[in-house]
Amino acid sequence: MTMCHLPEQFITKMNALLQDEAERFFATYNEEKVHGLRVNTLKVSPSTFLNISPWELEPIPFCSTGFYYRDAQPGKHPYHAAGLYYIQEPSAMFVAEVLAPSSGERVLDLCAAPGGKTTQLAAMMNNEGFLLANEIHPKRVKALSENIERLGITNAVVTNETPEKLSETFEGFFDKILVDAPCSGEGMFRKDEEAIQFWSLDHVQKCAQTQKHILSCAYKMLNEGGTLVYSTCTFSPEENEQIIDWFLATYNDMELVPIEKEHGIQPGVVRWTNTYNEQIAHTARLWPHHLQGEGHFVAKMRKRGEAKRWNGKVATSNVSKAMQRDYETFINHIIQTTIGGTLYAFGTHIFALPYLCPRLDGLKVVRPGLHIGEWKKNRFEPNHALAMALTKQQVQAHLPLTLEESIRYIKGETLQTNGDRGWILITIDGYPLGWGKEVKGVVKNFYPKGLRIK
């Protein structure tokens, strides 16, 4: 890409904003875009993955689990299907690092699709606590749910709701909230030509209004003493420094928390605010001419006060005795571990709700926790999500596959064995790929048809 592909008004605006740095900034559009993957620590440690990685990797300095890769296609490897990593733009990895949730906390990712930051938050929480991943767009929420499933996440509920509707249910509920706001996408111009087609000065202003609305809803859902991180992948001050300046003026019990800035990360620019608010320097900007990545803005804020106890209603099990019986029969024969959470039935499907999950009445719920399986005519059939959340040590039987066999499995092919063990976990190098049902030496393939490769 060259500058001639960029909108003229964008070039004029960035020249005015960056002044002496503008030439270095625009020079990055003539460079190759960088690629990154983030190791999923719910399944494998970064050091172990480095030992088994088929590709040469270089650490991303501002994300302890992130790596740059070049001249590789990690999305086509069975390790990707096994959920060992998430392919993610490097600068985007910094956002969850700033929020830094802990095990057992109540966390919201309000604008979550396609799931890069959600899956990073879940790994940092070690699958413990309550994580709500929301996406307002129905088409994008499917990808979010699939990524949560692939990475073996068990403590997440996925909703397809408006911020207003969520704020009615979860007022003062969350310890930590991430608002990775929809934006004009200027930071993605180098990797996404489509973002350029949608850009205009008017679009920037419309995004800013949307961001204010979303932040107001997020504020309502944040517990006292809680942390709110706001981020965008755009350069516009109208959507970054000026939004935070407005938010702090509107909600005077919110305060900025300084973000540590190393490895080329820059402070927010005070002169780009309307009030010359010096606190804005506590925010962070990731620029492509200062580090290997695209563009991001990040602000970390805290609501003053002491955390209050939430007194809402917690979801309880609604599983029938018959469903419970057949579920337990399956679990006792196939699984060698306890499935945590509250059993909950959505029709004939059984889920494990995360610990202390609130009642979800009236919400558009896409995935209410871990999808364990489906009750079918007095028998229980496990879901792919359950396989992805297990290890080979947690099942009675598993079938290790070679790289070539794994590719065949992901294509949906039937496998041949010498056994007759019934339900078995299919693995590559010990990591789960999905279910198979072994009967008289033939393994029926239960890899989801919608995920199969050609």
- Which residues are catalytic, by number? 233
- Per the annotation, does 165 bind a ligand? no
- Per the annotation, does 115 bind a ligand? yes
Q: How far is Cα 434 from Cα 371, in angstroms, rounded to an integer?
A: 13
Instruction: Read off the tokens for 59.
Output: 């650490």
Q: Which of 167, 114, 124 is nearest to 144 (CA)?
A: 114
- Per the annotation, does 180 bind a ligand? yes
- Per the annotation, does 113 bind a ligand? yes
Please give the distance of CA 409 from its chain centroid, rounded to a whole number: 26
Distances (CA, A) of 59 to 37, 90, 229, 292, 429: 10, 10, 24, 11, 23
Q: Which of 386, 365, 368 is nearest to 435 (CA)?
A: 386
- Per the annotation, does 116 bind a ligand? yes
Q: How far is Cα 94 from Cα 100, in angstroms, rounded to an integer?
A: 10
Using omega within 30 degrees of 0 as the cis cutoff, is the peptide bond preceding 400 cis?
no
Assess contact for 135 and 113: CB atoms under 8 A: yes
- Per the annotation, does 138 bind a ligand? no
- Per the annotation, does 4 bind a ligand? no
- Per the annotation, does 253 bind a ligand? no
Pairing of strands 380-382, 222-232: unpaired
Q: How far is Cα 133 from Cα 117, in angstroms, rounded to an integer?
A: 10
- Per the annotation, does 288 bind a ligand? no
Pick out the residues of the known binding site for S-adenosyl-L-methionine.
111-117, 135, 180
Q: Give binding residues as ranges.
A: 111-117, 135, 180
